Amino acid sequence: MVESIHEYMQVGLIHFMAYPDTIKGEGPILETVKKIAVDDYFTAIELTNIVDDEVRKEVKKMLDTASMANAFAGQTMLLTNGLNVNDLDENKRQEAVKLLKNGIDQAYELGSTGFAFLSGNYEEETKEDSYAALIKSTKELCEYSKSKGDMPVVLEIFDYDIDKKSLIGPVELAKRYVEDIRKEYDNFGLMVDLSHIPMVRETVEEAILPIKDYIVHAHMGNCVIKDESMPGYGDLHPRFGFPGGENDVDELVEYLRVLMDIGFISKERRPIVSFEVKPFGNEDPDVVVANAKRTLNLAWAKL
Distance CA 105, CA 288 (A): 31
Distance CA 237, CA 74 (A): 17
Fill in the DSSP letter of residue 12: E
Asked if 142 and 61 count as a contact pair (C-beta separation under 8 A), the reply is no
Question: Tell me, what's the pLDDT at 2?
Answer: 87
Distance CA 269, CA 212 (A): 14
**Residues of the chain above pLDDT 90, percent:** 99
Q: Establish how many alpha carbons lie within 13 A of residue 269's alpha carbon, considering only the half-sphere containing its beta carbon.
A: 16
Asked if 45 and 29 count as a contact pair (C-beta separation under 8 A), the reply is no
The kind and range of the H/E element at 21 are: none
Distance CA 133, CA 148 (A): 23
Fill in the DSSP letter of residue 263: T
Distance CA 142, CA 1 (A): 37
Distance CA 212, CA 192 (A): 10
Q: What are the structural domains of the chain?
A: 5-302 (3.20.20.150)
**Packing angle, helices 127-148 and 171-182, rounded to 10:** 40
Asked if 223 and 246 count as a contact pair (C-beta separation under 8 A), the reply is yes
Q: At residue 208, does pLDDT exceed 90?
A: yes
Handedness of CA 291, 295, 297, 298 (dihedral sign): positive
Give me the amino acid identity at 291. Answer: N
Count Cβ atoms within 10 A of the Cβ of residue 41 and give its class: 0-12 exposed, 13-18 middle, 19 or more buried.
Answer: middle
Q: Could you tell me the pTM of the whole model? A: 0.96
Q: Which residue has the higher pLDDT, 2 or 156?
A: 156
Average pLDDT, the chain: 97
For residue 193, report the phi and psi dihedrals to the nearest 5 degrees: -140, 120
Average pLDDT over residues 188-213: 98
Q: At residue 1, does pLDDT exceed 90?
A: no
Q: What is the CA radius of gyration of the chain?
A: 18
pLDDT in tens, 11-36: 999 999 999 999 999 999 999 999 99
Distance CA 34, CA 36 (A): 5
Question: Tell me, what's the pLDDT at 83?
Answer: 98
Q: At residue 8, does pLDDT exceed 90?
A: yes
